[in-house]
């Protein structure tokens, strides 16, 4: 069961920026929670194949209210998601919950939630700070990449050289002194990494400094490494 759920999660969210949980970590985050009962894990299968699952738990809220908190919901198709929402509603009612809270990590199926009466409410933003650019970029690095090498200087960090190919990058050992340079702040780097700002906008504002001749290389770099979606469900918040 555990392996099936984790495999589906990894398949559906392989391209998202997320925690790469191993089976023990996923079990700790979701199945080992105090107050979790057997019926709180809902699964939908088709011909013996897992199509979706949801995990929720009952929590005390302010003024004596009871909240059913959905820790994670994964569905391969819209009809599976609809079935999970119906099962969650029944389960929350059986456990005496006054309301349900789900943290959505995908946008395309929001209409299904609204159809079931869910209201989009504000929540705390995720705050990010850069600690180690080389380690952050290491998972994107492919040693067989061939292309333009550029030196990146992020304020507060040592310079690093990156080879930028057509569809991949390689983080080089050491710094290539003769390579063109790109200078930017940690905030601008993270904004471009997460797709929260535009490269030309940052250049015109003076936050990114690079020779115009190499701007296409920098644009290609961030197109390759950009993370467009997060996947951090409630089970991994606390």
Pairing of strands 41-46, 49-60: antiparallel
Q: Is the pLDDT of residue 56 over 80?
A: yes
Distance between CA atoms of residues 75 and 160, nearest Å: 40
Q: Cα(83)–Cα(140) distance, rounded to whole angstroms? A: 36
CB atoms near residue 120 (< 10 Å): 9
- Every domain of the chain and the residues it spans: 2-123, 133-225
Q: Does the fold of domain 133-225 match that of domain 2-123? A: no
- The CATH architecture that domain 133-225 belongs to is 2-Layer Sandwich (3.30)
Mean local confidence (pLDDT), 149-178: 94
Q: Which residue's structure tokens are 């395309």?
A: 108
- Which tokens in the block code for residue 216? 């296409």
Give Cα 225 distance to the centre of its chain: 13
Rounded to an integer, what is the distance from CA 133 to the centroid of its chain? 18
Q: Identify whether the C-beta of residue 199 lies closer than 8 Å to the C-beta of residue 170.
A: no
3-class secondary structure, 201: helix
| Between residues 130 and 238, the one the model is more confident about | 130
Burial class (CB within 10 angstroms; exposed 0-12, middle 13-18, buried 19+) of 33: middle
CATH architecture of 2-123: 3-Layer(aba) Sandwich (3.40)
**pLDDT > 70 fraction of the chain, expressed in percent and rounded:** 96
Question: When comparing pLDDT for 120 and 150, which is higher?
Answer: 150
Kindly report which listed range (125-129, 134-138, 211-215) carries the lowest average pLDDT score.
125-129
């Amino acid at each position: 069961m555990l392996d099936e759920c984790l495999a589906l999660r990894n398949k559906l969210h392989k391209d998202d920026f997320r925690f790469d949980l191993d089976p023990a970590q996923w079990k700790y985050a979701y199945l080992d929670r105090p107050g979790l009962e057997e019926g709180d894990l809902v699964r939908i299968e088709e011909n013996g194949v897992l199509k979706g699952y949801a995990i929720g738990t009952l929590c005390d809220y302010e003024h004596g209210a009871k909240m059913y908190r959905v820790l994670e919901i994964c569905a391969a198709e819209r009809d599976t998601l609809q079935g999970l929402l119906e099962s969650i509603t029944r389960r929350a009612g059986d456990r005496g919950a006054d309301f349900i809270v789900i943290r959505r990590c995908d946008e395309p199926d929001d209409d299904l939630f609204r159809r079931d009466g869910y209201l989009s409410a504000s929540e705390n933003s995720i705050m990010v700070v850069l600690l180690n650019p080389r380690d952050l970029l290491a998972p994107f690095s492919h040693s067989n990449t061939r292309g333009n090498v550029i030196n990146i200087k992020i304020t507060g960090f040592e310079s690093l050289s990156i080879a930028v190919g057509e569809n991949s990058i390689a983080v080089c050992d050491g710094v290539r002194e003769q390579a063109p340079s790109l200078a930017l702040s940690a905030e601008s780097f993270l904004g471009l990494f997460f797709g929260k700002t535009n490269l030309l906008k940052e250049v015109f504002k003076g936050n990114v400094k690079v020779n115009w001749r190499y701007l296409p290389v920098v644009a290609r770099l961030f197109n390759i490494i950009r993370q467009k979606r997060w996947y951090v469900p409630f089970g991994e918040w606390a």
